[in-house]
Chain A
Amino acid sequence: MTAELFVQYLFAGITYGAIYAIVAIGFNIIYNATGIINFAQGEFVMLGGMISITLLPIMPLWLAITTAVMLTMVFGALLEICFIRWLENPSVLRMIIITIGLSILTREAALHIWGESIRSLPYFIGDEVMTVALFGARISPQVLWVIGACGLMVIGLNIFFQTTSVGREMRACAANRRAALLCGINTRNMVTLSFMLSAGIGALAGCVMSPITSTQYDIGTGLAIKGFTVAILGGLGNAMAAVGAGLLLGILEAFSVSVLPLAFKDAIAIAILLLILFFRPHGLFGSRTAAGLKEF
């Protein structure tokens, strides 16, 4: 393999990986706050892309994206308030099924609102054929946008969770909900907030990736499955490990193309996931004892 080809694969892998990581972070935020895996996470990504594309004719790009992120956050909050907030001690099984149902309904609603056709945002800089040469490989500037957005999101989330009081309260909820409640934290609002936050992250990802991947009503399910794989790979609940796991999976997938037919790519990602589940269910980067303390 030439150095040029290597770099090309690497960038392809990082692009997939960054997208998977963003979806996985969204999973983890909600999981930490509620113990729920939100199967509708991929739909936030789809909504972000779809809404911004719809708004684009009447406003500039940056405003369309901001509005789309805001609207998706409102949607996320509404989901939580309408369907999850008022359930008392729901079982894991029940929550999984409800979020799957929400995902299906959102997707079908999108189909009937926007139709089945494919849309995309314009490239933020340049156009479809513009490329940047990097270490002998050529990549689209939009790839840099995706990687940059992912990086900024990770840094921003870190600052938010470490320094702001709301962020700390959310972490307290994640660590021990009852104790947080006793300390006077409104845990219910924290759950709503976590849905908003993860919806916003998903929507932003949906906007930056739209020029590369295009947006269609049914992109959510595939992304959710990949994001879920990455979240488990990194260790459920560990937002930062998800970034590492996402990049790892993306790069593995990119390089797997060089030796195996492309048709089996997804099957391989899932097979890796199954192996991890069987042998290291606490994830590649998680610790066994910490995982043992979590409720399932």
Chain B
Amino acid sequence: MKKLFPLAVLATLIIAIQLITGWTDTRFYLTQLTMSAYYALLIIGLCVVMGYAGQLSLGHAGFFAIGGYVSAALTTRNLEGLKDTVLIRLFDGLGLLVAGQDIYGDSLLVVTPWAACLAAVLCAGVIAWVLGIPVLKLKGHYLAMATLGFGIIIYRIVLASEVFGEADGISDVPSFPLLPGLSVSGDFGAREENYYIAWGLLIIGLVLLRNLVDSRVGRALRSIHGSEEAAEATGVDTARFKLQVFVISAVYAAVAGVFLTHYNGGIGPSEAGVMKSVRYVAIVAVGGMAHLWGAMVMGIVLNFLSLRGVFGSYDDAVFGFILIAIMLFAPNGILSWNWRGYGAMLLRRGRRRESLREKTDGLA
């Protein structure tokens, strides 16, 4: 019951926002709220890796890009020319392909969004698993550099590959029909349902992660964060747990990438850039490393403001500033900063001064 309470509040808030925007004719806020929700999905995944398992990842934009790009490429690249190969016929027989027409009126044969989505997420998961085995053995600067390196490689690949559209990225990605009558798309008419799809996905993701964190895995993770050697000594298979969490967070990132790409109708190389990864780390840091709710709220608020262009030309600078300020003054996140303690300290100081005054008065 206690666990459900915040979720119920969140759900109420989500519905309330939709209703308020409907009444006040400000439905356009839902666009950025939807996009932010997808980014927040990535961020809560990263939060578990950073905060609970204590592993810094500077390459999460890479997983987001794998998800988005693979799904986008599969649903837009024409397979018409390969129509007669065995593999394509097999796929067609399984119902994985759809035929259509492109903007020039030529016939088009592409993979269905559901198959593309599964392929993309699977791809990200497998890459995370293969990468995670050697990378998670590293610590400190080496871990940071390895994950950063992974992100750069993904960025370079999408920027250099014809199939991923090089510098232009991929445009005209079709909408993603989840259920009949319910599809992920950026059409102006489909805004409300996409808002609920995004937030529904985020809540499901949050619930799953909360369960993970409160389970045996979560306890093992916290022990890893505290001291990896100690955890190992007490019989925790640290390597396995770290890898599990890393793969899960990569899957979260990839799912976010797939959905946002279909929502936006396209993806560009900037989604794979180093600055994006750094930005995600910044948001997790502000929200509090080991604080799922904090990371989620900050993921929503900061992305929402950034996507609305509130920071103008100072967008990157704002995130740089946030990184420094948080790490200097509140390394556990602004919400875990001891406001109460700080207040109490001020009070105490005041009292001490008073009592001091009393004493000196007494002396006089």
Given known pairs A108-B317, A109-B317, the reply for A100 and B323 (CB within 8 Å) is: yes
Which residue of chain A is the closest to B324 with respect to CB atoms? A101
**CB-based contact A267/B327 at 8 Å:** no
Q: Which residues of chain A have C-beta atoms less than 8 A from B327's C-beta?
A: 94, 97-98, 101
| Count of residues in B whose CB is under 8 Å from the partner chain | 40
Q: Which residues of chain A have C-beta atoms less than 8 A from B149's C-beta?
A: 229, 270-271, 273-274, 277
Pick the residue among A101, A109, A274 that contacts B146 (CB under 8 A): A274
The reply to whether the CB of B91 lies closer than 8 angstroms to some CB of chain A is no
Interface positions of B from 123 to 164, Cβ below 8 Å from A: 134-135, 138-142, 144-146, 148-150, 152-153, 156-157, 159-160
A273 CA to B322 CA in the complex, in Å? 30
**CB-based contact B138/A277 at 8 Å:** yes
> Nearest Cβ distance between residue B145 and chain A, in whole angstroms?
6
What does DSSP make chain B's interface, helix, strand, loop or mixed? helix
**What are the interface flags for B243-277 relative to A under an 8 Å C-beta threshold, 1 for contact and 0 otherwise?**
00000000000000000000000000000001100
Pick the residue among B146, B159, B317 that contacts A104 (CB under 8 A): B317
> Nearest Cβ distance between residue B332 and chain A, in whole angstroms?
10
The reply to whether the CB of A236 lies closer than 8 angstroms to some CB of chain B is yes
The reply to whether the CB of B29 lies closer than 8 angstroms to some CB of chain A is no
Pick the residue among B56, B145, B160 that contacts A273 (CB under 8 A): B145
**CB-based contact A96/B156 at 8 Å:** no
Given known pairs A221-B274, A274-B150, the reply for A102 and B324 (CB within 8 Å) is: yes
> Nearest Cβ distance between residue A287 and chain B, in whole angstroms?
16
**CB-based contact A263/B160 at 8 Å:** yes
The reply to whether the CB of A261 lies closer than 8 angstroms to some CB of chain B is yes
| Count of residues in A whose CB is under 8 Å from the partner chain | 39
**CB-based contact A236/B141 at 8 Å:** yes
The reply to whether the CB of B320 lies closer than 8 angstroms to some CB of chain A is yes
A184 CA to B159 CA in the complex, in Å? 53
A-B contact pairs, 20 of them (CB 8 A): A83-B328, A92-B141, A93-B140, A96-B144, A97-B327, A100-B320, A101-B282, A104-B319, A105-B317, A108-B316, A228-B145, A263-B159, A263-B160, A264-B160, A267-B157, A274-B146, A274-B153, A277-B146, A277-B149, A281-B142
Interface residues of B (CB under 8 A from A): 54, 56, 134-135, 138-142, 144-146, 148-150, 152-153, 156-157, 159-160, 274-275, 278, 281-282, 285, 313-314, 316-317, 319-324, 327-328, 331
